[in-house]
Amino acid sequence: MAKELKELTSRAENYSQWYNDLVVKAGLAESSAVRGCMVIKPYGYAIWEKMHDALDAMFKETGHVNAYFPLFIPKSFFSREADHVEGFAKECAVVTHYRLMNNPSGEGVVVDPDAKLEEELIVRPTSETIIWNTYKNWIQSYRDLPILINQWANVVRWEMRTRLFLRTAEFLWQEGHTAHETKEQAIEEADKMINVYARFAKDWMALPVIMGRKTANERFAGAEDTYTIEALMQDGKALQSGTSHFLGQNFAKAFDVQFAGRDGKLDYVWATSWGVSTRLMGALIMAHSDDNGLVLPPRLAPTQVVMIPIYKGEEELRRMVAEMEKVAEKLKAKGITVKIDDRDNVRSGFKFAEYELKGFPVRIVIGPRDLAAGTAEIMRRDTLEKETVSLEGIDEYVAQLLEDIQENIYRKAVTFRDSMITKVDTFEEFNRVLDEKGGFILAPWDGTTETEVKIKELTKATIRCIPFDTVDEEGVDMLTGKPSHRRVLFARSY
């Protein structure tokens, strides 16, 4: 499997192909027969579940609760917020009928023309509209606020071009939708949640991200302000990995959600929404993997340790497995997840390659020589380094190793990311860096959408964000020569 992978592509030649093969061969996902959708296989889903659980816990810690809203949204809801419909109209799946019938002219079935819906239903591309239509009934007074709700769901966006995990027609995500009494509270919420995302990326995915504000041009449809976390992939392209939006009173006004304030006056509710999706799986894969396959951070690996016996004959296999079961018990007692692969139909070397491909963080090998010496061979997936350690205290060794791996993967990603942030001042330099190096580019910008769009047309690079930690810096726009007050973060992106 991994051999095929290596022979087929190297990252330098065709990163897209490499990524795609890796996703398929590692058993994470595959394209479905339905255009642009994907099948997430059990191993891929196990990683998503890990992400889900960690995020869900973080949402609950920050005071949110889960709820669920309908998949179908009446078409008319979309026309309420002008920018919102503008942003999503081109990629909506629409339900027009509710019944099939046998084809009168022969085989198969056709849509029953008599079963046309009075009003079409839109398969949610995001749930702001149906949720705000519901919130209208839930909110009368400031005492009903804030509402801090999250939904785990699937959404559909009929994209022209799809890529496994990164952009599929249907994807899984969570979307938070909150309602607040004041503008300040809503902004604070949006800010809080983008920080939750950044923390999740760092602590769980071992992925450094740059937090910042989107430009007006790149903002979410219907938002007043969009915050983003931007990650860098190994091919030098950026990936928008999560967003949090301050929606102002736009949706409250569109759906007429007013509340009686402390002063007795009616006012519109302030809103936020925020989400991350299965795209994070793509980020995880593209950020850390190597030519041997996936590299999973231990905190997200469905199984952290795999144990593989070396043996001749059944009797020896039994002895190795018996020893491994003892070790496994010790590891489990430390909260470490373990798998013993005692399959007799494939050789050990095959297993080594297979678990490397799947990104198991730690491999423990025990053979007759080890058993005699009271040792085991331990390999860490991130560096592929092997070490022979005593079975005595192996549980502590592995527990520490898993932490080291998590930390090391993160540090490596930070080092790479930092090496791929370039400051440029001229457009020539900007183009050169884009073509020869890639990565993030910090460059002065005159602050106009016009210039931003022009740069995109000329270079395919977009402003990923205006980083939160940017400092005021007087300069001139690299394209127009007009005054610039700060540098912004450019990159080509997925």
Partner RNA sequence: CGGGAUGUAGCGCAGUCCGGUUAGCGCGCCACGUUCGGGACGUGGAGGUCGAAGGUUCGAAUCCUUUCAUCCCGACCA
Q: What is the dihedral of CA 233, 484, 221, 284, to 10 degrees?
A: 10
Q: Select the residue interacting with RNA from 45, 132, 171, 204 (CB under 7 A).
A: 171
Q: Which stretch binds RNA (CB under 7 A): 111-119, 369-377, 399-407, 438-446?
A: 369-377
CA distances 392 to 13, 327, 330, 372, 388, Å, are 46, 9, 10, 13, 12
Q: Which stretch binds RNA (CB under 7 A): 95-103, 164-172, 299-307, 331-339?
A: 164-172
Nearer to RNA, 272 or 484 (CB): 272
CA distances 78 to 64, 88, 346, Å, are 26, 9, 56
DSSP output for 69-122: --SEEEHHHHTSSHHHHHHHGGG--EEEES-EEE-TTSSSEEE-GGGEEEEEEE
d(CA 362, CA 385) in angstroms, rounded, equals 10
Task: Say whether residue 386 binds RNA (CB under 7 A).
Answer: yes
Minimum Å gap between C-beta 105 and RNA is 13
Backbone angles phi, psi at 204, to 5 degrees: -105, -45
Nearer to RNA, 354 or 477 (CB): 354
Q: Which stretch binds RNA (CB under 7 A): 25-33, 57-65, 108-116, 204-212?
A: 25-33
Q: Is 248 helix (H, G, I), strand (E, B) or coil?
A: strand
Task: Say whether residue 69 binds RNA (CB under 7 A).
Answer: no
Q: Is 126 helix (H, G, I), strand (E, B) or coil?
A: coil
Q: Which stretch binds RNA (CB under 7 A): 42-50, 77-85, 354-362, 444-452?
A: 354-362
Nearer to RNA, 6 or 202 (CB): 6
Minimum Å gap between C-beta 118 and RNA is 26
Minimum Å gap between C-beta 86 and RNA is 9
CA distances 404 to 2, 299, 384, 385, 386, Å, are 25, 11, 13, 13, 14
Task: Say whether residue 394 binds RNA (CB under 7 A).
Answer: no
Task: Say whether residue 367 binds RNA (CB under 7 A).
Answer: yes
Backbone angles phi, psi at 377, to 5 degrees: -95, 130
Using the structure block, give the residue that is written with the tokens 């889960």.
66
Q: Select the residue interacting with RNA from 123, 286, 365, 478 (CB under 7 A).
A: 365
Task: Say whether residue 277 binds RNA (CB under 7 A).
Answer: yes
Minimum Å gap between C-beta 144 and RNA is 30
Of 312-331, binders to RNA (CB under 7 A) are 312-313
Counting residues that bind RNA (by CB under 7 A) gives: 69
Task: Say whether residue 93 binds RNA (CB under 7 A).
Answer: no
Q: Select the residue interacting with RNA from 48, 204, 220, 227 (CB under 7 A).
A: 220
Q: Select the residue interacting with RNA from 356, 382, 395, 446 (CB under 7 A).
A: 356
Helix segments in 359-393, DSSP class H: 368-373
Are 439 and 230 in contact by the 8 Å Cβ rule? The answer is no
Are 103 and 147 in contact by the 8 Å Cβ rule? The answer is no
Q: Which stretch binds RNA (CB under 7 A): 56-64, 297-305, 308-316, 411-419?
A: 308-316
Are 73 and 121 in contact by the 8 Å Cβ rule? The answer is yes
Q: Where are the beta strands (DSSP E) in 293-392?
A: 305-309, 338-340, 362-366, 375-380, 386-390
d(CA 459, CA 454) in angstroms, rounded, equals 9
Are 371 and 323 in contact by the 8 Å Cβ rule? The answer is yes
Task: Say whether residue 379 binds RNA (CB under 7 A).
Answer: yes
Q: Which stretch binds RNA (CB under 7 A): 63-71, 86-94, 114-122, 326-334?
A: 86-94
Using the structure block, give the residue that is written with the tokens 């231990």.
298
First to last CA, the chain: 27
Q: Select the residue interacting with RNA from 33, 266, 333, 471 (CB under 7 A).
A: 33
Task: Say whether residue 35 binds RNA (CB under 7 A).
Answer: yes
Task: Say whether residue 451 binds RNA (CB under 7 A).
Answer: no
Q: Which stretch binds RNA (CB under 7 A): 83-91, 114-122, 246-254, 476-484?
A: 83-91
Nearer to RNA, 257 or 283 (CB): 283
Q: Select the residue interacting with RNA from 84, 157, 180, 380 (CB under 7 A).
A: 157
Task: Say whether residue 310 binds RNA (CB under 7 A).
Answer: yes
Fill in the per-residue mask, 411 to 450: x = in contact with RNA (CB under 7 A), - = not in contact.
Answer: ----------------------------------------
At 374, list the tokens. Answer: 């009271």
d(CA 227, CA 245) in angstroms, rounded, equals 6
Give the interface with RNA as residue ranges (CB under 7 A).
1-6, 14, 16-17, 20, 31-36, 87, 90-91, 157, 159-164, 166-169, 171, 218, 220-221, 240, 243, 277-279, 292, 310-313, 345-350, 352-354, 356-357, 365-371, 377, 379, 384, 386, 460, 493-494
